[in-house]
Structure 1
């Protein structure tokens, strides 16, 4: 049974990797086309969206790579496995987008005061192409169940909305002589990219600094544990996450002094089952008898 589960998991990772791979090549190919087209059409809005798409291409490429890397599991070099490498990818991606956004803003802001003519027809053509390409990538990832696939799909849906905004801008430019709409769109898109970059960086930093997972309420975790039969109290609760989805918990539980070994093992199984319901994937438990609970404490109590 365990072997069959491994095969299913391996097949799922392979399927997820293939979906992300197709979306990556679709996105990267279009980003190159977009950069050339944006310069040719003289549109800052398209160049801003090219930056957004470049960020998504990086995300897709790194997600594809880490989807493959995650299949390796843990080894003597990385005893918790390779899941945390995805954070490195997120930080690299955020820095690239941050630098790119500054470059775009540096070029877009002067154009608000000195607008330049833009090829409105080309702008509309690229917008339609952008909606089609990103829409195709979203459909490819539809129904994907891995965290990587879900995150990437949301990014691509954002891109579709960005291209709808560029299309509206192109239509306005086609019918009205209002060239300032292009740098204004560029500022809007870049501002949105920056907002997401800063949010992602904050989340990544919290994970790297071993902050408590956002989904976990430690008071509730302690309450659930102390409800379990055989456990008198718990202390030294430490929770962190490897990659935002794989959560780890360590704890000391005080039990009866004369507890038989088999009952101790049963308590550990109950703890793991209760924590699995709270989306905690890995639990390390140390059982203690009354009077010992202060002897191993390395940190102060949770407040």
Structure 2
């Protein structure tokens, strides 16, 4: 006999992602215009990078909206994991973009070029405002997709802060290498954090046990319950990194009465963080006390 516990739907951040996408895409258009206005190949290159960012943000927003659909006979857990797919694509695009930026910045270190510092300062201020607003909006969310996207946008914000600082420095001193040096440092910092979140996403895709759920400790607690003979075949995985699934086979005494079995199930559920699990199924078996 089994027991399944179902909890309310997880709230996703499609509203946050929508705002982030619109802000990023709007600023990408401004970048293209500003790059032509300042005759800056660096800004035009970053505009191409931000266009890729906008595409990945749009995908993340679409997949997150798709994840809100209900269960179907084919997708019995619904579409929650689609939000992770958006986060995965975003992370891959971001890593590729960072590689592109680091490569171009390295070339600039070897062969520094003069830039229009006044135009850079104007665009940098606008960039900090747009991207900073997007970061603040997305960082309010808690899903893995929003975490990856927040680092995605933080890269752009810090990048424009670097442009602002570099332009200010180059306004007073002839140090054209400052801008590419700052870009490389910030890109490596953001890359480290993106890889950390990418590892979390892959952990969910591989259906590993949720990081905060200790299976051996759970099984020890269940075995100590009155009337429990043993527990086996404990399986736990995460749907989207926030809501989890748990199944287990609990062996009780052969003479256990129905009301005793019901009480055992209640105590088993008390051994877990009930709010973190989307579904909990306890299969009851009868066996002799060893």
- TM-score scaled by structure 2? 0.81
> Which of 228, 231, 254 is 2:228 aligned to?
231
Match of 1:265 among 262, 267, 272: 262
Paired residues, number: 283
| 1:167-182 equivalence runs, <5 A | 167-182=164-179
Structure 2 residue aligned with 1:97:
94
The equivalent of 2:3 in structure 1 is none
Are positions 1:290 and 2:287 aligned together? yes
After superposition, give the CA deviation of every residue in 1:250-286 in whole Å (9 maximum; x if it has no partner): 2111211111233323322332343234723321211
Given that residues 235 and 248 in structure 2 are in contact (C-alpha distance below 8 angstroms), is that contact kept between their aligned partners in structure 1?
Answer: yes
Unpaired runs of at least 5, structure 1: 294-303
Matched, 1:205 2:234: no
Contact 2:124 2:160 in 1 (8 A): yes
Classify 1:138/1:197 alpha carbon distance in 2 versus 1 (closer, same or farther; 3 Å): closer
Change (3 A) 1:109 1:145: closer
Residue 66 of structure 1 pairs with residue 36 of structure 2: no
Partner of 1:300: none
| 1:288 partner SS | strand
In structure 2, runs of 5+ residues without a counterpart are 1-6
Which among 121, 132, 135 is matched to residue 124 of structure 1? 121
Aligned residue runs from structure 1 range 175-190, under 5 A: 175-190=172-187
1:72-115 deviation digits (Å, cap 9, x = unpaired): 12111111111111222222222222333333333221211110
- Give yes or no for the alignment of 1:108 onto 2:105: yes
Query: SS state of the match for residue 237, structure 2?
Result: strand
Distance change (3 Å), C-alpha of 1:66 and 1:272: farther
| Shift of residue 194, structure 1, vs aligned partner | 2.9
Length-normalised TM-score, structure 1: 0.78
SS in 1 for 2:105: helix
Determine which of 26, 33, 53 is the counterpart of 2:23. 26
Work out the CA distance in 2 between the residues paired with 1:154 and 1:102.
15
The residue correspondences of 1:9-48 to structure 2 (distance < 5 A) are 16-35=13-32, 37-38=34-35, 40=38, 42=40, 44=42, 47=45
Matched, 1:191 2:191: no
Please tell me whether the aligned partners of residues 43 and 123 of structure 1 are also in contact (alpha carbons under 8 angstroms): no
Q: 1:122 to 1:226 in 2, by over 3 A?
A: farther
Conserved? CA contact 2:53–2:93, under 8 Å: no
Superimposed CA distance per residue, residues 163-202 of structure 1 (whole angstroms, 9 cap, x where no aligned partner):
3333212211111110011211221233234323433332
Return closer, same or farther for 1:267/1:154 CA change in 2, 3 Å cut-off. farther
- C-alpha offsets along residues 36-83 of structure 1, whole Å, 9 cap, x if unaligned? 5457453648845973x5565455423432332232121111111111
Deviating more after overlay: 133-142 vs 98-107 = 133-142
> Residues of 2 paired with 1:259 and 1:89: CA distance?
48
- CA–CA distance in structure 2, aligned partners of residues 56 and 219 of structure 1: 42
Contact 2:63 / 2:85 at 8 angstroms: preserved in 1?
no
How big is the shift at 1:143? 5.6
2:247 match: 250
The Cα RMSD (Å) is 3.3
CA contact (8 A) 1:19 1:141 kept: yes
